[in-house]
Amino acid sequence: MRLYKECLHCGKELEGRTDKKFCDPQCKSSFQYQKEKNRPERFYNKVDNQLKLNRKILKEYNKGGKVIVRADILLKLGFDPNFFTHYWKNQKEDVYLFVYEYGFLKRKEKDKEKYILIIWQEYMQKDSKV
């Protein structure tokens, strides 16, 4: 007696073993992919994905070590300043937020929001906060 008459993914009639659920490996893979895609994402996955995206964006725009970029450019790409890994406070009391080795500081210049982007340096180690 067959447990499933049709493929759980595409609906094609099944042949072969009686406990078979899918007609081929591609249908099985597609079914599992859709199942995971529809499942609510776990919180740490959302955080990890946002941190990865933030790092990628900061890396792309900070080729020179210290760069100033308009905030709207980064935000349009999906950058979220609320996700960071640690921070560093300089002698002027400016607090740079870091996503791994790439840091940013929000500034307002001439009524425009901007980010000062920097790269982590060894001398920052003693003053950093997690």
**CA–CA separation, 63 vs 32, rounded Å?**
40
pLDDT tens, position by position, 39-80: 777 788 889 999 999 999 999 999 988 999 999 999 999 999
Mean pLDDT value across residues 96-121 = 95
Mean pLDDT value across residues 116-121 = 95
Mean pLDDT value across residues 110-114 = 93
pLDDT tens, position by position, 6-44: 999 999 999 888 899 999 999 999 999 888 877 777 788
Could you tell me the pLDDT band of residue 130, with boundaries at 50, 70 and 90?
A: low
Q: Among residues 85, 86, 79, which one has the least CA distance to residue 54? A: 79
pLDDT at residue 128, as a whole number: 57
Q: Between the CA atoms of 97, 98, 104 and 105, what dihedral angle is there, to the nearest 10 degrees?
A: 10
Residue 86 has pLDDT above 60, yes or no: yes
pLDDT at residue 77, as a whole number: 97
Could you tell me if 79 and 54 are in contact, meaning their C-beta atoms sit under 8 angstroms apart? yes
pLDDT at residue 83, as a whole number: 97
Could you tell me which residues are beta bridge partners of residue 6?
Answer: 13
Query: DSSP H helical segments within 78-117, as ranges?
Result: none
Mean pLDDT value across residues 98-122 = 94
Mean pLDDT value across residues 83-110 = 95
Which of residues 2 and 84 earns the better pLDDT score?
84
